[in-house]
Structure 1
Amino acid sequence: MKKALPLLTLCFALLLSSFMFRPLADGYQVGDKAADFKLKNIDGKMVSLADNKEAKGYIVVFTCNTCPYAKAYENRIIQLNQKYAPQGYPVVAINPNDPAVAPGDSFEAMKTKKYAFPYLIDETQQVAKAYGATRTPHLYVLKRQGDDFVVSYIGAIDDNSEDAKMVKTKYVENAMTEIMAGKPASTNSTKAIGCTIKWKRA
Structure 2
Amino acid sequence: MKIFKTVVMLVVVIAISAFTLNTSKGYKVGDTASDFKLKNIDGKMVSLADFKEAKGFIVVFTCNMCPYSVANEDRLIALDKKYKQKGYPVIAINPNDPKVSRGDSFEGMKTRAKEKGFTFPYLFDEGQKVYPMYGATKTPHVYILNKDNDKLVVAYIGAIDDSSRDENSVSERFVEDAVEALIKGKKPKKNNTRAIGCSIKDKRNWK
TM-score range normalised by the length of the shorter chain: 0.7 to 0.9
Identity of aligned residues (%): 61
- Unmatched 5+ residue regions in structure 2? 1-22
Aligned partner of 1:152 in structure 2 is 155
Q: Match of 2:84, SS?
A: helix
Is 1:131 paired with 2:130?
no
Give me the whole-angstrom Cα distance separating, in 2, the residues matched to 1:103 and 1:48.
26
How far apart, in 2, do the equivalents of 1:52 and 1:141 lie?
15
- TM-score (normalised: structure 1): 0.86
Could you tell me how far 1:96 is from its partner in structure 2?
Answer: 0.3
- Which aligned runs of 4 or more in structure 1 are off by greater than 6 angstroms? none
Match of 1:122 in 2: 125
- Between the aligned partners of 1:143 and 1:153, the Cα distance in structure 2 is 9
Match of 1:143 among 142, 146, 160: 146
RMSD in angstroms over aligned alpha carbons?
1.0
Please name the residue that 2:66 is paired with. Answer: 67
Whose Rg is larger? Answer: 1
- Structure 1 residue runs without a partner (length 5+): 1-22
How far apart are the structure 1 equivalents of 2:166 and 2:80?
19
In 2: Cα distance, 1:176 partner to 1:133 partner: 20
Q: Equivalent residue for 1:84?
A: 83
Amino acid paired to 2:140: P
How many aligned positions are there? 179
The residue that corresponds to 2:92 in the other structure is 93
Equivalent of residue 197 in structure 1, options 188, 197, 200: 200
Structure 1 Cα separation of the partners of residues 142 and 156 of structure 2: 8
C-alpha distance in 1, partners of 2:55/2:81? 15
Residue 194 of structure 1 and its aligned partner are, at CA, apart by 0.2
Residue among 184, 187, 200 paired with 2:187: 184
Shift of 1:182: 0.8
Task: Give the secondary-structure state (helix, strand or coil) at the position aligned to 1:151.
Answer: strand
Query: CA–CA distance in 2 between the matches of 1:174 and 1:121?
Result: 28
